[in-house]
Amino acid sequence: MSWISALPPGSELLMLALAAVVAGVINAIAGGGSLLLIPLLVGVGLPPTVANGTLRIAVLSQAVVATITFERRGVHELGASLRLLPPVIIGALAGTGLATQLPDTSMRGVFGVLLAVWVVVLLFKPDRFLTSEGTPRAPSVLVYALAVVVGLYGGFVQAGVGFPLLALIVLGLGRTTVDGNAVKSAVVVAYTTVSLAVFLAAGHVAWREGAAIAVGSAVGGWLGARWQLKSGVGLVRWVLIVTVAASAVAMLAT
């Protein structure tokens, strides 16, 4: 992104903050907003490994605000969140450890293909994803196993993890997408706190850029949660379709 170098001194932080608002809205509604921030963080001069770690500040900020907003608006899903935390955190710890050592090329390709499949599912069988099969249920062994995998990816790359995490909650726990997003936000707060600590220990966090995207993401998380609660699952479906498609292209193109 050579055009970033032509910006006036200091304006790159404003650009990051504004982009983070958009990313925070997308993350609160569906997921994939982080794909907007990673190339910008690299474009302002951060090494990819540092960009990956710095991104977690924005993710944590957005998720905290979204979780509080859902709670204040009467969407209480703490119990479901706690059930998923152990396997997700185990996966996130392993994934974050790998992220400080290995490139993410192979994993991004795999998830790019999976996200492309999600576009087809959302376009042609939205009811399967948007409609709970019945009463909320406890996680099965399969759900716990998949939660470890989702946590592994979230700790490793983060970008795009909202889609499989939301799908796991809706299909595996019987939640609606609105309730599922409340669960997702709380789970993201927990595992991102763990991941950020590992990145900090590895020296892979840039606080200057991190502060800019944290402020923007907090605003975006608040707006996204409020917007979703007003508009319901229809909004979630179309935001998912657009952002999942963009995420698949971005992952397969890198």
Burial 42-80 (b: 16+ CB within 10 A, else e): bbbebeebbbbbbbbbbbbbbbbbbbbbbbeeebebeeb
H/E/C letters for each residue in 70-85? HHHCCCCCHHHHHHHH
Q: Which amino acid is at 19?
A: A
Per-residue confidence at 2, pLDDT binned at 50, 70, 90? very low
Any residues with CB less than 8 A from the CB of 115 and at least 6 apart, and which? 160, 163, 244, 245, 247, 248, 251
What's the whole-model pTM score? Answer: 0.77
The answer to whether 89 touches 194, Cβ cutoff 8 Å, is yes
Give one DSSP letter per residue of 171-222, joined into a string: HHH---HHHHHHHHHHHHHHHHHHHHHHHHHTT---HHHHHHHHHHHHHHHH
The answer on pLDDT for 1 being more than 70 is no
The answer on pLDDT for 156 being more than 70 is yes
Mean pLDDT of 124-129: 55
Mean pLDDT of 26-39: 75
87-122 tens-digit pLDDT: 999 999 999 998 888 665 655 565 566 666 666 666
Mean pLDDT of 192-199: 94
Report H helices in the chain. Answer: 11-29, 34-43, 48-72, 78-99, 105-124, 126-130, 141-156, 162-173, 177-201, 207-231, 233-253
What's the CA gap between 83 and 208, in Å, rounded?
35
The residue with greater pLDDT, 214 or 157, is 214
Which CA distances in Å does 46 have to 37, 53, 93, 188, 208?
A: 12, 10, 23, 24, 11
47-95 tens-digit pLDDT: 888 888 999 999 999 889 888 888 887 776 777 778 888 999 999 999 9
Per-residue confidence at 24, pLDDT binned at 50, 70, 90? confident
The answer on pLDDT for 7 being more than 70 is no
Count the Cβ atoms, other than its own, within 10 Å of residue 138: 11
Predicted local distance difference test score (pLDDT) of residue 103: 65
Predicted local distance difference test score (pLDDT) of residue 250: 62
Mean pLDDT of 232-237: 55
Backbone dihedral region for residue 6 (phi beyond 0: left; psi -120 to 50: alpha; all else: beta): alpha
Nearest Cα neighbor of 237 from 114, 128, 120, 130 is 130
Q: What is the separation, in whole angstroms, between the first and last Cα of the chain? A: 14
